[in-house]
A and B are shown apart, each in its own frame.
Chain A
Amino acid sequence: MIFDFDTMYVVLLALLLSAAVWTVMTSHLLKSAIGLAVTSVVLTLILFLLKASLAGVFELSVCAGLITVVFISAISLTKPVAEAEAREMKMKRLKRFIFLPILLLIAGWLLRNRMIHLTHPVQAAADAATTVQQALWSGRRFDLVGQILIILAGIFGIIVLFKTKDCVDDKEKKQ
């Protein structure tokens, strides 16, 4: 087996797509969340292959880690359905989702011959030797302000949506 770039790349892409299809088609919600984490891991491998190591590390730690934790806590905070209902929903799901692989195969075959022709890329003034750190801290500092703003908005969102005074109100009602 030749471990050159192209083979590895196509294998990883196929693995990514199959992990995504498994995530969508599996019936149990927790397995779906785990499937999402597996998809993130495969994407990280692709990013490392494309020499985007810093982005790969971010993707692994945040998407495969933090977001999976968010999903699992959301799943556990919401009540799971009863057993008989779950079996019935599972059968209905399989009937609905069986179309997905067929759809993907047809779409893949149709797109097979669409070679998008690229002309020479316009080399902008930026040289290729800048590292990610330089690009992030000096090239795109304005976006960092945007990131700070959105993190603040997220904090306020969690406070607004979760902080309840219900316990205080309940105690007052009991008295």
Chain B
Amino acid sequence: MTCEMATFFSVSVIFAVLLVLTALYCILATRNLIRILIGMELMTKAVTLLLAVGGYVSHQMAVAQTYIITLIVLEVVVIAIAAAIVIGSHKHNNDMDAGRMNNLKG
């Protein structure tokens, strides 16, 4: 484990953490449902970056690539279903406001 690799890893982790903070800020500070989905997608990007860095550092790039490919397939299905939910909710409310979604309380 060389010093450069440790620096590389630390820099990557810092940027990944900043990306996750951006995504979390997007999810928390918006009232539009589709922006929440965009925030979820940005979190996936951060995680892809972390997986790629993990594979690079431990010289297991082939395994890390299989993880990334599987992750991409799973995320596509999740985003598709989430978009379907948003569209369905829009048909009910005629509104993209996440603030209206507080019917269930307690």
Q: Is chain B in direct contact with chain A in the complex (CB below 8 A)?
A: yes
Instruction: For B37, list chain A residues within 8 Å (CB).
Output: 71, 74
* Interface SS, B side: helix
Contact of A33 among B21, B38, B60 (CB under 8 A): B38
* Interface SS, A side: helix
Question: Which residue of chain B has its CB nearest to the CB of A153?
Answer: B77
Q: Is the CB of A29 within 8 A of B77?
A: no
Minimum CB–CB distance from B56 to chain A (whole Å) comes to: 5
> Contact size class for B?
35 or more
Contact of A103 among B21, B38, B45 (CB under 8 A): B21
Map CB proximity to B onto A95-127 as digits: 1 under 8 Å, 0 otherwise. 011011001100110011011111111011010
User: With A118-B6, A150-B77 in contact, is A132–B45 under 8 Å at CB?
Assistant: no
Q: Is the CB of B65 within 8 A of A54?
A: yes
User: With A116-B9, A121-B1, A136-B66 in contact, is A17–B22 under 8 Å at CB?
Assistant: yes
Map CB proximity to B onto A139-155 as digits: 1 under 8 Å, 0 otherwise. 11001001100110110
Q: Which of B29-60 contact A (CB under 8 A)?
A: 29, 32, 34-35, 37-39, 41-42, 45, 48-49, 52-53, 55-60
Q: How many residues of A contact B (CB 8 A)?
A: 81
A contact residues vs B (CB 8 Å cutoff) = 6, 9-10, 13-14, 16-17, 20-21, 23-24, 29, 32-33, 36, 39-40, 43, 46-47, 50-52, 54-55, 58-59, 62-63, 66-67, 70-71, 73-75, 77-79, 81, 96-97, 99-100, 103-104, 107-108, 111-112, 114-121, 123-124, 126, 128, 130-132, 134-136, 139-140, 143, 146-147, 150-151, 153-154, 157-158, 161-162
19 residue pairs bridging A and B, Cβ less than 8 Å apart? A9-B8, A14-B15, A16-B45, A20-B45, A46-B52, A50-B61, A52-B64, A74-B83, A75-B34, A96-B29, A111-B17, A124-B60, A128-B62, A132-B61, A132-B69, A135-B65, A147-B70, A147-B73, A153-B77
Other than the known A24-B39, A100-B22, A157-B84, what 7 A-B pairs have Cβ atoms closer than 8 Å? A52-B64, A52-B68, A54-B65, A71-B34, A116-B10, A118-B9, A147-B73
